[in-house]
Homo-oligomer: A and B are copies of this chain.
Amino acid sequence: MTKVSVEGLDLFFKAKSVAIYGASITPNSVGQAIIQNFIKPQYEGKVYAVNPKYKQVLGVKCYPSMQEVPEPVDMVVVAVPARITPRVFEDIATNGAKAAIVVSGGFSEVGPRGAELENEVVDIAMKHKIRIIGPNCVGVIDTHSHVDTFFLPEYRCGRPKPSNIANISLVSQSGAFAAAVADWTSELGLGISKIVSLGNKCDVDDDDLLQYLGDDPTTQVICYYTEGYDRLKGRTFFETAQKVAQNKPILVVKSGRGKRARAAASSHTGSLAGSDCVADAAYKQSGIIRADNFEQMFDMAKALSMQPPAKGDRVLMVTNGGGLGVMTADALEELNLAVTPPSPELEAMYQERLPKFCAVHNPIDVVGDSNATRYDIVFKEAIKSDEYDIFVVGMLLQTPSLGMDVTNVIANHQRQSGKPFVVVSMGGGFTTKAGEIMQLMGVPTYATGEKAALAAWALAKYGETKYGQEFNKTIRSDES
């Protein structure tokens, strides 16, 4: 089908009036859960209920059809049985609405009869220039406009919040994952702008969203969960990605690597998983960063949303725990980052200014009784020398000698130098709180050296795309 302009997508995310087609008075029904989201005080637009069965749903006047709705609405959420959807779309057309999210299942994902129904709906929608998200999806959460079609109650499925620093948006083929991620990120302290569940992608697809999110001022990092690409659409997507990735990092989790998993993916969303290697090559070429799983994707997205990309791959690790330094250095090296030793001049400077029991190679071990001052010295001299592009900071807070002022030292050097910093801090209650404070100051903080190393890698990897050069050709002075 010919694409209608991407601007049309604003209707989904910034809808100032919505109609819930299939709004219901039945507790725990999909049609009730959705209208419940829109009558919350934070949604400031108008809400119309549509259902011939009722006069009123949860205090909202209910219309027998869209034709009766007194104004053209920005968006319709369709929660009716699949078989009546074509009729419902004819009705929507009479209203003049140009955007519809079909949450109902029973379409191409269930077989040929469902696929026929889906085609019928698409034909009607095209004729009337109505854009569709879905079917077979949970739709959209926009944390700024409070458009929220996720038909899952908040006590079960928490909703994420936007942040003042930078925000991540996620596009997911799977609705259950979209919901699980919404819930999961609601407690992670990450800024989220939009979560979109695409379902069967009968109209709006990955590429549309990529163009839209690429231009969206409230999205700084774009994340995807996909189980596979359509051959033709895949090509367009990767072409768009190549452009968008110049401005914003794009991350993807693609499942269906294994044989059983591919079979399951095909029955799950009806998508052709295709060759995983082909997708992998396309990711590399278009500057998309592939993550193995959601945890890795959001660990990387956190760093990319909070820190500038790195201008090179030389990492300085500083730590007050020797073991943590060793393990993190291991992880950094495995990711091909350059854990280069300081120059003789810088090393001499450290020997002069740090206590003599500190290890002044890289990782720099300011040892267990360190206070914030030793960290300050390490950053100040390293930044002055310009020998490093990324700082990975081990901050073990089990020892009371390291005061909370270390968070200020880290945040200040980050801000003044403009270089990316990543913190690793492993522990329990006190450490978790301190990490939250560190992140409120803008520096991403991780519980393990491996996560911090991966975050550093993502900052370097995106730096390569952003600055158009391959860092790992850097000559490393200690390479044998």
Contact = CB atoms under 8 A, between A and B. Distances in A.
Interface of A: 28, 110, 152-153, 155-158, 172-177, 179-187, 225, 227, 253, 255-261, 263-265, 267-269, 292-295, 320-327, 329-334, 339, 341, 357, 359, 361-363, 365, 368, 396-401, 426-432, 447-450, 478, 480
A253 B362 CA distance: 21
21 contacts: A157-B399, A158-B427, A175-B368, A176-B322, A179-B396, A179-B399, A180-B396, A180-B398, A182-B398, A185-B428, A187-B429, A225-B323, A255-B327, A258-B330, A260-B341, A261-B333, A264-B322, A264-B359, A267-B365, A293-B448, A295-B450
Nearest to A364: B264
Nearest to A320: B176
Instruction: Please give the count of copies of this chain that the complex contains.
Output: 2
Contact of A183 (B155, B175, B326, B428): B428
Contacts of A324: 174, 176-177, 180
Given A176-B323, A396-B179, A427 B292 contact: no
B323 A427 contact: no
Nearest to A325: B264
A447 B176 contact: no
B176 A326 contact: no
Nearest to A329: B261
Nearest to A292: B450
Given A257-B333, A333-B259, A268 B326 contact: yes
A432 B401 CA distance: 33
Contact of A427 (B110, B184, B334, B447): B184
A183 B156 CA distance: 29
A258 B368 CA distance: 23
A153 B157 CA distance: 37
Given A156-B399, A183-B428, A428-B158, A449 B293 contact: yes
Nearest to A450: B293
B429 A176 contact: no
Given A293-B448, A426-B294, A450-B292, A330 B399 contact: no
A152 B400 contact: yes
Given A322-B268, A361-B263, A428 B186 contact: yes
Contacts of A400: 28, 152-153, 156
A185 B400 CA distance: 19
Contacts of A359: 264, 267-268
Residue among A185, A362, A397, A426 with max Cβ neighbours from chain B (10 Å): A426
Contact of A322 (B174, B257, B326): B174
Given A321-B177, A323-B173, A259 B431 contact: no
Given A28-B400, A158-B429, A258-B329, 6 more contacts: A172-B323, A177-B321, A179-B398, A183-B426, A259-B478, A268-B323
A387 B247 CA distance: 51
A469 to B, nearest CB: 23
B260 A362 contact: yes
B227 A323 contact: yes
A368 B176 contact: yes
A245 to B, nearest CB: 24
Contacts of A320: 176
Contact of A187 (B227, B322, B428): B428
Contact of A180 (B185, B321, B362): B321
The 10 lowest CB-CB distance pairs between A and B, nearest first, are A174-B323, A258-B333, A176-B321, A268-B322, A157-B398, A158-B428, A183-B427, A261-B329, A183-B428, A261-B330
Nearest to A273: B326
Contacts of A365: 264, 267-268
B426 A184 contact: yes
